Amino acid sequence: MTDQNGGVNKGSDNNGQVIEPRNNSKNRQDENVASKVTGTTGRVQLRSDVILQGVKGKVDKRMWWLIGGAGVVVLAVITGLVVSMVLAGRAVKVDNDDNGGLFDQLPQVLEEAVTLKRTSGLSGRECAEPNRRPIGVMLSSDVITRPVSGFAAADMVWELPVLVSDVTRLLAVYQCGQPSDIGSVRSVRHDYLFLAEGVDAIVGHWGGSYHALNRISAGEFDTINALTNPFSAYFRKNHLPAPYNGFTTYENLWNALQKLGYRTETTFKGYEFKDDAAAENRSAGGRLSIAWPGAFRVHYEYDPQTNRYQRFWGGVEQVDGGPGKEKVAPSVVAVIRATNQFADGPGGYNDMGIEGSGVLEVYQDGQVIKGTWQKNELYKAEAVKFLDGQGKEIVFTRGQVWVMAVEPEITVTWEPKTVEPSATASPAGSAMPITAP
């Protein structure tokens, strides 16, 4: 299999043409302007006019009382809506002996309402600009490129095989996270394009498969391709050989995105998130293993203290290759079962069938939730849904979400940590392979 990768020099622009942003970009915000109208009356009036004016004044006062009363009602309704949205699911203490009562809590409630609006729909993390359109970048899993840069800052990661039951590749999606070092950047496959479109992400990539490039050329997807390197978004590093030495930064990609005229505000409503489970509701620990072959084998070790899943790649603890060298430890690991087969057409590329529905296991808070994943077969632009056993959308624990598409023949095992009988925490599930029907 040969990827259509190409080299570019740092700081170079392929065609040197400046492309102005499209006028239909949706990054503009309408501003509501309120105006106030005041009136004056004559200063000199006949006596009879003064009497009439007095009567009119009384009527005007009644009208202002009515308008003022209506305004209070509207304000109360709006406040009630804000309070109900923010305080849903948590107890509110109201002291009947306190003249302030619920109104004393309004500043805190309004502050929380603002905070709720400033979280990513991909990770639930707080964001300075949560409405920014996400950017996904195709990243390598090859051993020569490890430690790979850009994983720790990703809000969501998709990991799929690019060869049947063999080599994997990853799509790291950024909204809150804006890393200064991302790479090695690799070629894209058509599977990832549909997954990115589901969360309204633009895809950064270095070439791609026959199927992916055909769809991109047809204008089906918004991408930033290193083969044309618009606005010098990509560069190569000298410590790695091609095609493994392609890198970028979030700032470079965001700059290119704007100058290419792509929409900058997201239309994705996002997944639902919650805070970490209380310590007493977490398991004592455990190990989740995905038996991909050799160096691509992955396992996670759950730490109840941090409520995170430390990731290991080929038996080695995964750290980010960027300047911070942070550990890669998602809050949520979702395993979706999907078939993998060769796609039609030249190149021998695979096709990961992430459409329709299939078996799902979501690991968070040291527990496992078994359910079903769904993705519209006809309208592939829709996001993947993660449903529990009752068909309700799973509320994720706030933090990085890592989704792994695994073939039915690959063994997935959850081994809970054993505890002494006196311990209060109970392990989740049983130490047995989870198999697809």
Q: Identify whether residues 239 and 315 lie together within a single domain.
A: no
CATH code, 336: 3.50.90.10
Q: Identify whether residues 295 and 398 lie together within a single domain.
A: yes
Q: Identify whether residues 295 and 379 lie together within a single domain.
A: yes
Q: Is residue 8 a part of any domain in this protein?
A: no
pLDDT at 208 over 60: yes
Reported as a pLDDT band with limits 50, 70 and 90, residue 8 is: very low
Count structural domains, the chain: 3
Reported as a pLDDT band with limits 50, 70 and 90, residue 14 is: very low
Q: Is residue 26 a part of any domain in this protein?
A: no
Q: Identify whether residues 190 and 217 lie together within a single domain.
A: yes
Q: Is residue 24 a part of any domain in this protein?
A: no
Give the C-alpha separation, 428 to 366, whole Å: 7
Whether the pTM exceeds 0.75: the reply is no
Q: Identify whether residues 155 and 228 lie together within a single domain.
A: yes
Q: Identify whether residues 246 and 281 lie together within a single domain.
A: no
60: alpha, beta or left? (left if phi > 0; alpha if psi -120 to 50): alpha
- Can you give the residue range of the structural domain that contains 79? 47-87+102-116
- pLDDT single digits (tens) 382-423: 999 999 999 999 999 999 999 999 999 999 999 999 876 654
Q: Identify whether residues 255 and 306 lie together within a single domain.
A: no
Indicate the residue among 211, 237, 259 that finishes a domain: 259
Report yes or no: 172 and 157 within 8 Å, Cβ to Cβ.
yes
**Among 436, 360, 340, 355, residue whose Cα is nearest residue 401:** 360
Q: Is residue 142 a part of any domain in this protein?
A: yes
| Higher per-residue pLDDT: 34 or 373 | 373
| Higher per-residue pLDDT: 59 or 263 | 263
Q: Identify whether residues 331 and 420 lie together within a single domain.
A: yes
Q: Identify whether residues 298 and 355 lie together within a single domain.
A: yes
What integer pLDDT is reported at residue 38 of this predicted model? 33
- pLDDT single digits (tens) 116-128: 558 999 999 999 9
Q: Identify whether residues 241 and 330 lie together within a single domain.
A: no
Q: Identify whether residues 76 and 140 lie together within a single domain.
A: no
Q: Identify whether residues 249 and 337 lie together within a single domain.
A: no
